[in-house]
Amino acid sequence: MSIATNPSTAGDGLLRVRRSTHSLLYTLTGAVAIVLLLSVAPWIVPAEWSTVLMNFFILVTMATMWNLLAGYAGMVSIGQQAFVGLGAYATLYFAIKGVNPFYTIPLAALTCLVIAYPITFLLFRLRGGYFAVATWVVASTASIIIGINSYLGGGTGHNLPGMPDLAPTALQHLIYLATWGVALVVVTATYFLLRSRLGLVLSSIRDNEISARSSGTKVTSARRLVFLIAAAGTGAAGAVLAISQVYLQTGNEFNLQWAAEMLFVSMIGGLGTIEGPILGCVIFFTLQQTLAQQGAWYLIIFGSIAVLVALWQPRGLWGAFRDRFHVELLPVGHWVGERKSESRVRRSARKQGASKEQPGPLT
Amino acid sequence: MIWLNVIIQGVLVGGFYALFACGLSLMFGVMRVINLAHGDMAVVAAYVAVFLTPHAHIPEVWAFVVVAPLFGLVGYVVQRTLIQKSIDRDPFTTLLVTFGLSVIIENLLLEVYSSNGQIVNIGELIVKSWHPEAIIYISYVSLAVLAAAVAVLALLQLFLSRSGTGRLIRAVADDHEAAQLSGTNYRHIFGIAAAIAFATVALAGIAFGMMTEFAPTSGGINLLFAFETVVIGGIGSLWGTLVGGIALGIAQQFGAHVNPEYQVLFGNILFLVVLAVRPQGLFGKKTALS
Amino acid sequence: MGETLLEIHDLTVYHGQLCAVDGVSFKVDAGEVLTMVGANGAGKSTLLRTVAGLHRQTRGTVTFKGAEVTKLAPQRRVRLGISLVPEGRRLFSSLTLEENLQVGAHHANKGPFNIDRIYELFEWMPGRRRQRAWQFSGGEQQAIAIGRALVANPQVLLLDELSLGLAPIVIERIYALLPEIVAQGVGILLVEQDVTLGVGVANRVHCLLEGKTALTGTPEELSAEQIEQAYFGGDMSVASAHDEQP
């Protein structure tokens, strides 16, 4: 019996690395179609749908950022509502100073980024659950500090001044475009971010932090950068939230409910995928609309689904779908495979379930 | 004199915070689980005391005699099923699942019992207090709760350090695989730790319900305080938890004295300062940290 | 030697996609020392951990005194009589020396070993019984770990890399214990990277190479060159010393 082992002779030059299992042309066409459709939506759908879509976009923005933080960078936060609130109140602040609320959106994002920076030095002393609850303490503190400030309305609330003087429907359209714009920018930015060097760094940290550190990866810097980006994105969501609601109250903008929604939506949709939070939001809003009359039941049901999904299908619904059918609408991973023609690979993948291509640890 | 009152009130509430926090500390120390539903469990216990024990003809003030062991049992079952399954996946899942449970519980309570404030009926005891000086009021209830907290912590400490099961719990906390290799069913021990945690949190919840009005959302803020207590006092030390609770209590009372709106804020600030300056807490070992 | 206590048949264990143990079979009798040698990564530790129940095997069986234990949880195996002293000692660091032994004794079987007996074996222990485990040196910790396993009165003792990280003189003292343990009728399965040490104390030797059995036999039957070849590999067929006919 021979003892010598035979490493798989895939042969040099016969391996190649690709970014997706299918032509990106499909994704691009689909994406363009969806973008166009959603951009003209307010003019073709009933007004209530418009409102639902606005809330959908806001939650998608928040969830995508939360997922970036938790699913890709491994930091579970239940305090992102801090930045929802800070973003909203930054908008209020600048609006009171005379800036057009719509122009405050990037300002709000920047404000959150600046505030988040020193906070990371405190928070990064903790890991796991302690990090999570510490983020909550930060949110609670932010909420109280803003609430004490009567200039911004204190506990009772404040109206958002300086909204453009337009007819109600036109204004509504404008707000819609703002929320849609923010969501589009944030999701696209996340996609390109994860395809970049940073994305690779994050994958390596997620898989094995110690190896990553020892190979020179600046783990803490990468984490800090992600936290800042998430803060900025969530702040932008808070800004459009303020614009869409027009009346701000600390109890609303800093509500833990946001954390719950971001979290559930990402869990159900699938952590660590871009499509996951979006899918989760779709399910969430469908459920909410169907159970609109039942008070808090939609949250109970949604929460229960989230818990069940976490226990039995930890990769979320999109994750399970993706594993089964090897489809990625927004591919950010890497696939290593033998050189074969595209169609043959896809056919054999569907037939065998486990394809010849290994969804490697880089996914 | 005013400062003396601030300190006394801080100590009184600190004992309560420690009682609340010791379950959290235990679950983290033994199985590295942060139970984000910890605060809500306490509130559920309070609701059980107000709405369910009267059916068993037990006056609310004695509800804890029945509710605490009951919660212990529930804790064991929940740990062996739900939480163990999350632990087997990864710490991530545990956080997500316990947070999910927290939201579910709060909203269920909201649906069933509405958002009205409730209180555990202890009759006249609620207004009785000791009034030694002009500004100093020591309410009997708070004093009783402080005494109970110290007693429970002492008993727990004794149990952990002297008994065979307590020893197994400490061994499992150090290295559950090695405990397995020594013949211990570590999942069973996890269950016992959870049972203790749930029982103490039930006591804390009922105590809370005796002292103030509670509602479905009360769990959240109490979890925050429990967590701050554990971090300030130090992860892994029961007496540290008591000191942490008292420190938090005093900070909060001081804040309230300056401006009623600052109560929670001052507590948060103390927490953040401890985090910045001495992250392992006053008496802690460096377990939860980077 | 005595009755066959432990029987491993065609054991195959995977570590993710890597085959760590491939079709290994052997037995351990009462009162003997079977030493398993092999290079790093040869699969020795994985094998021990699987026998102890910490790893699930893909194929094969583990039989203890005739009864199959392949599906039993680790703590059940301990209570039956299989004890593992894991690699790296793995003491309960915040517990005292005595408490560590007490934990081991909690689910003990009847037998010659108890805490007092351990204190006799290691005279330095009683004086320091209230010291916390983390305060002891590597060699002392190894002794405590062995004591903790012995106190449960195992019939089969699995020892994983006893000598790792210890000074030679300490290793000597630890190894001097083995004959005493074996004299009580315990069967020992010893995993050792240091071949000289391992073979020196063995009744039988089993060499693993990349998860497969490369060589078996008694120390008298096997030459140093044979063991060396089995350890490092090279084109060599699986041989049992009994096949070697001049």
Give yes or no for a contact between C32 and C185, defined as CB atoms under 8 angstroms apart: no
CA distance B56 to chain C (A): 40
Q: Which two tokens stand for residue C130?
A: 């209230």
In-domain check, residue A104: yes
CA distance B31 to chain A (A): 12
Closest chain B residue to A119, measured at CA: B272
How many CB pairs (< 8 A) connect A and B?
A: 134
Helix boundaries (H) for chain C: 44-52, 74-80, 97-106, 115-121, 138-150, 168-183, 195-200, 224-232
- Residue numbers of C between 200 and 239 with CB closer than 8 Å to A: 209-210, 212, 214, 233-238
Q: Which two tokens stand for residue B79?
A: 């740990």
Enumerate neighbours of B (3 or more CB pairs within 8 A): A, C
- Bridge-partner residues for C7, per DSSP? C27, C63
CA distance B287 to chain A (A): 10
Closest chain A residue to C231, measured at CA: A3
Helix (H, G, I), strand (E, B) or coil at C204: strand
pLDDT of res. A219? 82
- State how far the Cα of A263 lies from the Cα of A126, in Å rounded to an integer: 20
Closest chain C residue to A5, measured at CA: C210
- State how far the Cα of C184 lies from the Cα of C167, in Å rounded to an integer: 27
Residues 6+ apart with CB under 8 A from A113: A228, A229, A231, A232, A235
**CB of B231 less than 8 A from some CB of A:** yes
The pLDDT tens digits of the residues spanning C16-70 come to: 788 889 999 999 999 999 999 888 777 888 999 999 999 998 999 999 999 999 8
- Bridge-partner residues for C196, per DSSP? none
- In this prediction, residues C85-114 reach a mean pLDDT of 92
**CB of C156 less than 8 A from some CB of B:** no
Cβ C75–B184 below 8 Å, yes or no?
yes
pTM recorded for the entire structure: 0.84
Q: How remote is the C-alpha of A304 from its chain's centroid?
A: 21
Cβ A2–C238 below 8 Å, yes or no?
no
DSSP C203: S
In-domain check, residue A28: no
pLDDT of res. B188? 97
pLDDT of res. C235? 54
The pLDDT tens digits of the residues spanning C189-223 come to: 999 888 888 888 999 999 988 888 888 888 888 88
**CB of B238 less than 8 A from some CB of C:** no
Cβ B34–A124 below 8 Å, yes or no?
no
Cβ A5–C214 below 8 Å, yes or no?
no
Residue C77 in this model has a pLDDT that exceeds 90 = yes
**CB of B112 less than 8 A from some CB of A:** no
Enumerate neighbours of C (3 or more CB pairs within 8 A): A, B
Which of B32, B95, B220 faces A76 most closely, judged by CB atoms?
B95
H/E stretch holding B277 reads: helix B263-277
- Residue numbers of B between 175 and 214 with CB closer than 8 Å to C: 175, 177-186
pLDDT of res. C168? 85
Strands B129-130 and B138-139: antiparallel
Cβ C95–B182 below 8 Å, yes or no?
no
Residue C113 in this model has a pLDDT that exceeds 80 = yes
Per-residue pLDDT of chain A (363 residues; tens, 9 = 90+): 333 334 444 444 556 666 666 667 777 788 788 888 888 877 777 878 888 899 999 999 999 999 999 888 889 899 999 999 999 999 999 998 888 889 999 999 999 999 999 999 989 888 777 888 889 999 999 999 998 888 887 767 888 888 888 888 888 888 999 999 999 999 999 999 988 888 888 877 777 767 777 776 678 888 899 999 999 999 999 999 999 988 888 888 888 889 988 988 988 888 888 888 999 999 988 888 887 766 678 888 888 988 998 888 877 888 777 777 766 666 666 666 555 443 344 444 444 333 333 333 332
Residue that wins the pLDDT comparison between C226 and C189: C189
- State how far the Cα of A229 lies from the Cα of C21, in Å rounded to an integer: 46
pLDDT of res. B255? 93
Cβ C92–B177 below 8 Å, yes or no?
no
pLDDT of res. A358? 35
CB contacts, 8 Å: B181 with chain C:
52, 54, 74-75, 78, 83-84, 86, 90, 149
Give yes or no for a contact between C182 and C154, defined as CB atoms under 8 angstroms apart: no
Which of A74, A133, A299 faces B227 most closely, judged by CB atoms?
A133
Which of C52, C107, C149 faces B184 most closely, judged by CB atoms?
C107
* Fold topology of C4-243: Rossmann fold (3.40.50)
**CB of C2 less than 8 A from some CB of A:** no
Closest chain C residue to A1, measured at CA: C237
* Closest to A154 (Cα-Cα) out of A237, A80, A92, A87: A92
CB contacts, 8 Å: B279 with chain A:
125-126
**Most C CBs within 10 Å: which of A3, A6, A207, A358, as the mutation test of the C interface?**
A3
CB contacts, 8 Å: B231 with chain A:
130, 134
Split into its structural domains, chain A has a count of: 1
**CB of C73 less than 8 A from some CB of B:** yes
**CB of B167 less than 8 A from some CB of C:** yes
In-domain check, residue A322: no
In-domain check, residue A107: yes
pLDDT of res. A69? 92
Helix boundaries (H) for B32-115: 38-47, 63-78, 84-89, 91-113
Enumerate neighbours of A (3 or more CB pairs within 8 A): B, C
CA distance C6 to chain A (A): 27
Note down the domain range covering A82.
52-254
pLDDT of res. A331? 67
Q: Which residues of A touch B (CB under 8 A)?
A: 70, 74, 76, 78, 121-122, 124-130, 132-134, 136-138, 140-141, 144-145, 147-148, 256, 260, 263-264, 267, 271, 295-297, 299-300, 303-304, 306-307, 310-311, 314
**Residue type, position B108, single letter:** L
Instruction: Tell me the domain boundaries of chain C.
Output: 4-243
Cβ C92–B184 below 8 Å, yes or no?
no
In-domain check, residue A281: no
Cβ C233–A2 below 8 Å, yes or no?
no
Cβ C94–B177 below 8 Å, yes or no?
no
Per-residue pLDDT of chain B (290 residues; tens, 9 = 90+): 678 889 999 999 999 999 999 999 999 889 989 899 999 999 999 999 888 877 878 777 788 888 999 999 999 999 999 999 999 988 778 888 998 899 899 999 988 888 888 877 766 666 677 777 767 778 888 888 999 999 999 999 999 999 999 999 999 999 999 999 999 999 999 999 999 999 999 999 999 988 888 888 888 889 999 999 998 998 778 889 999 999 999 999 999 999 888 999 999 999 989 988 887 888 876 544 43
Cβ A2–C235 below 8 Å, yes or no?
yes
In-domain check, residue A127: yes
Q: Which two tokens stand for residue B206?
A: 């009922």
How many alpha carbons lie under 13 Å from residue B21 in its C-beta half-sphere? Answer: 33
In-domain check, residue A13: no
